[in-house]
Every structure is written in C-alpha cells, then in structure tokens.
Structure 1
C-alpha cells in the first residue's frame, strides 16, 4: 500500500519559495508555481507517486532558476554551480538537469570560462602561468580545458608582467642592502609561481638596475 502525504502547514520563506509540511514532521521547499499547480493547501492529500513527482519537478525547476541566478552575479564553472546546488540540498537528478539546461543554452561553458581567465583576468592581475592554472583549477575546470586555454598564454607578456612586479617590489626596498633586495624580489616572483627561466631573466635585469642606481648614488 502506498504512503499518503497530508499537507499540515504552508509557510512562505522568501520571495517565491515556501516551506510545506506534510504529515506534521516532513518539511520540503516548494515554489509558488508548484503550490498553485498542485493545489497545495492544508488538508490536501497526496498519494506517494504524485507527491514524489511534485517534489522532483519542483527541484528541477528551482535548480535551473538558482543556476541562472548564480551566473547572473559572476561567471562560474559547472563544478561551482554543482557545489552550490548540492549545499542547498537539491536532488541529484535536479542538479544534473540544471547543468544540462545551462550547458545547452551556453549559459555555462568551462572551456570558454578558462579562455576568458587566460585572455582577460590573468593579464590584468599579472598572474604567472602557474598562478593562472591554479586559479582555474580552483573553479573545478577539467585538465583538458585548462591545457587548451593555457596554450594561448604569451611567454613575452608573462616576462613583462614578472619584470613589472619586480620593479614595483624594488621600489619598496630602498633601505635594504643589495643582497636583501635580490633575495626578496626573487622570493616574491617564486611565490607568484613564475618559472625558473623567467625569474632568472628578470633578476638579471633587476641586478643591472640596482647596480646602475648604486653607481648613480640613488
């Protein structure tokens, strides 16, 4: 014999979302559209099949809406959206349906997001290649998408970024000895993930600049 579910309470949480109580102690969240469509009100009795169908469809609809809401605030990867939906206790089926919907309509695209980070954010932030890879990995983007995006990183631009960072660091070390300046700048570049070859080239330039300043008495 199928279970039955009796609506014992309906309470608005926020916006279009309500808490609905069944059999006194079962609490679920439903959208206002679901409440209207299924005529949810106190005393309404649901058979198990209808109850599960209602919950499933509501989760799918709200998961899609929530996904769009997250993307309207900032670009996000599939993994980031999934994590948020799981944390908010959406059903696994609803999460998968929401991700499929967002991908089908190109609202979410990990390859595009990785490329945008490489082409726009990394240069603006003066990230090294390794730093850029780490930032993309934090978003849960796949290795293949990262590798394809990183192919477009320009080594010369990375070198210029490292030199700019080093020169700015040098200006903050006026009262330090030559050895301290070199050590701190080298550490700063290594911390930011610049490769050994780039760090070496930059340090050669920085050493020349330090020596020129010493000759000039600056």
Structure 2
C-alpha cells in the first residue's frame, strides 16, 4: 500500500503538499491535514486519497465562502451562486453549504429578520417590496412571513409617515389633489398597501395652502386657456376645465376661476 513519505508546507499559508512513495500526490488544507490526522508514514489507499481530495475541495470552497460572507450577511442562494460563478462543482457546493449551515454561518431566517429590522430603522420600504427583495435572495415564504411579523402596524405607520412627509415636501408646489395622489402612489411603489397609505396620509393631516393653490390654478389655467384659444368658447372652457381637474385642482375652484374670466362654467 502507498505510504505518505513527506508533508511539505506551501508558501501559501495553511496549504500543504502531500508526497506519496516519494512523489508529489495532492495538496491539502491545514483543516484537512488535522481532520484526517495525516502524518509521515501513514498508509494511503485510493479510496482515502479520493476522500482527501474531496475534503480539500470543500475546504477551499469553504474559505472562498468565508471571504464572501465576511463583507455582509448573505443567503444560501447568494453563497451558492457565488461559488457557482467560481466554477465550484455542484456537489462541492452542497457539502460546503452543509458545513456553513452547521456552523450557523448562513441562516436565511436570520438574514430575513436582520433585513426587516434594517428597513424598519433606516429604510423606506413597505412589506410588499421587502417580500420581493427576500424572494430574489432565495429566502422561503415561511422565512419571509416570520420576518415580516417584526414589521408591526405601528412600525409600518412610523416608517410610511416619514416617507409621506418627504413626498409632501417634494410635491408641495403641485395641485393639492395631485400632491395627495403622488404621495399615495409613492407609498404604494415602496411596498405599502392601500390601507396603510390611507392611514399615513391621514396622519399627515395635509391642508391645502389656499393662496398657493389659487396662484397655481391661475398659472396653469392661463397656459391652458391660451393653448385652446382656437376652439369655440364652450369647447375651450370644457377642455380647460377638464385639464385642470386632471391636474388635481378642486372643481369648484376651477369653476370660480373660469367665472372670473367672464366665461360660463356650466
């Protein structure tokens, strides 16, 4: 039977070359060296050599995974995809992930809970967008559901209201109806549902600035009135009224402004 005749340290830390019957046979990591208790004079058959090679492949993949995990939390899918990109064989990836799970170095439930907490404290996303993100990361539905229980209605209201306040400042120079519509749409786009958006808008208790809204109406109305100048009076009035209403202005305010022009609002 073949015998290990020399174990030589490589220049690379933690790596060793194993010589069998006086000839170089295969490399191993320090962890494999220790796990298999390799020593000079130890007998090695083909089966053991294959086990050593497989174990070394896992050790190398494991170290690559650790490098990837050192930067931030990752899901199993992310680690699997990363190792696949590094051309690690699927069977080696499976064994590597098994080891990572045993050492709790990958834990999709922990990842999901951590992500939800981060969004609650520093983000602007609602449950629907969070769910979509976690699905893309490979987290299962149960893990997502469990993590989202942390995002209580009170927390959602606090986060969403802060988002709504920022959106209100962004759109404050628009017609009041449009401002409310865009705030709601912004909340829906960020993953809050319609009921939550309504509560957030109610919490803001927005009130139109009468003078500002009048100035905006006049400015927009004059542009539209000029645009439709080639139409008949009734058609011009209808088109202007319709366009201003679509822009979010109050219908009574539109009619009053048209009346001030000396035109019938009927």
TM normalised by structure 2 equals 0.60
| 1:73 Cα deviation from its structure 2 partner | 0.8
Is residue 37 from structure 1 mapped to residue 37 from structure 2 by the alignment?
no
Q: Deviations over 1:138-179 (max 9, x none)?
A: 211111111111122211110121111111111122321112
Equivalent of residue 148 in structure 2, options 150, 154, 159: 150
Is residue 59 from structure 1 mapped to residue 57 from structure 2 by the alignment?
yes
Is residue 77 from structure 1 mapped to residue 59 from structure 2 by the alignment?
no
Counterpart secondary structure, 1:99: helix
- 1:128/1:192 contact within 8 Å kept: yes
Tell me: CA distance 1:52–1:91, structure 2 relative to 1, closer, same or farther (3 Å).
farther
| 1:183 Cα deviation from its structure 2 partner | 1.8
- 2:108/2:143 contact within 8 Å kept: yes
- 2:18/2:25 contact within 8 Å kept: no
Partner of 2:106: 108
- 1:114/1:146 contact within 8 Å kept: yes
Partner of 1:124: 122
| 1:55 Cα deviation from its structure 2 partner | 4.8
CA distance in 2, matches of 1:214, 1:129: 36
Tell me: CA distance 1:123–1:133, structure 2 relative to 1, closer, same or farther (3 Å).
farther
Is residue 214 from structure 1 mapped to residue 210 from structure 2 by the alignment?
yes
CA distance in 2, matches of 1:51, 1:214: 84
- 1:38/1:54 contact within 8 Å kept: no
**How large is the RMSD of aligned CA atoms in angstroms?**
3.1
Structure 1: 4+ residue segments shifted above 4 A: 43-46, 48-55
CA distance in 2, matches of 1:148, 1:188: 26
Partner of 1:87: 85
Tell me: CA distance 1:125–1:209, structure 2 relative to 1, closer, same or farther (3 Å).
same
Equivalent of residue 161 in structure 1, options 148, 159, 162: 159
Partner of 1:25: none
TM normalised by structure 1 equals 0.72
Tell me: CA distance 1:110–1:153, structure 2 relative to 1, closer, same or farther (3 Å).
same
Query: Between Structure 1 and Structure 2, how many residues are aligned?
Result: 186
